[in-house]
């Protein structure tokens, strides 16, 4: 009886580890979807209001949850907290702080960082072009992440279960 409990524990632990490894790929897709949503809201707010970008970001961040809202909050806090940060430095620092240890790939973070270079510095037509380009790039990344999630998360889950079964067989 004790052996059966041990074998079940090993099997469940290995399967859980496989599912946890697969979660990273799922989180990347979720983070990209949240980013696209919050940036679309920012674009709409910029298009229909004449408020400064930091004020818009602060207003949007109060309504958002998750990492995308945390990102906008971080940009605003860097802008308010230290005079040595201009908008781009604050934006880039927030990308590193919020998404540095996240599931986002380096290419995702690079695209997001570069968006802060021109944001809020040109007229509305150029801002709309910037957002269009940014959304195209982020959508490409999301498609890539979704494909990677579909393939690699299945592999991780299967591998976890297989290793659990193998460990049980070896112990028998």
**C-alpha to C-alpha distance for 99 and 113, rounded to whole angstroms:** 11
pLDDT at 83: 67
**C-alpha to C-alpha distance for 87 and 63, rounded to whole angstroms:** 21
pLDDT at 161: 93
pLDDT at 165: 93
Which parts of the chain sit beneath pLDDT 70?
82-85
- Domain spans in the chain, listed from the N-terminal domain onward: 2-171
E strand spans, 66-170:
none
């Amino acid at each position: 009886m004790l052996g059966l409990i041990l074998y079940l524990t090993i099997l469940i632990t290995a399967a859980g580890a496989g599912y946890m490894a697969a979660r990273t790929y799922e989180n990347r897709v979720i983070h990209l979807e949240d980013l696209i949503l919050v940036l679309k809201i920012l674009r709409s707010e910029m298009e229909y209001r004449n408020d400064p970008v930091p004020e818009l970001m602060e207003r949007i961040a109060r309504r958002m949850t998750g990492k995308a809202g945390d990102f906008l909050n971080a940009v605003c806090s860097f802008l308010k907290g230290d005079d040595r940060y201009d908008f781009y430095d604050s934006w880039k620092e927030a990308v590193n702080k919020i998404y540095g240890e996240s599931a986002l790939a380096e290419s995702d973070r690079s695209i997001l960082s570069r968006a802060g270079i021109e944001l809020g510095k040109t007229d509305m037509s150029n801002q709309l072009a910037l957002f269009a380009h940014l959304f195209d790039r982020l959508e490409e990344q999301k498609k890539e992440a979704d494909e990677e999630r579909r393939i690699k998360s299945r592999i991780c889950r299967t591998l976890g279960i297989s290793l659990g079964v193998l460990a049980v067989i070896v112990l028998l």
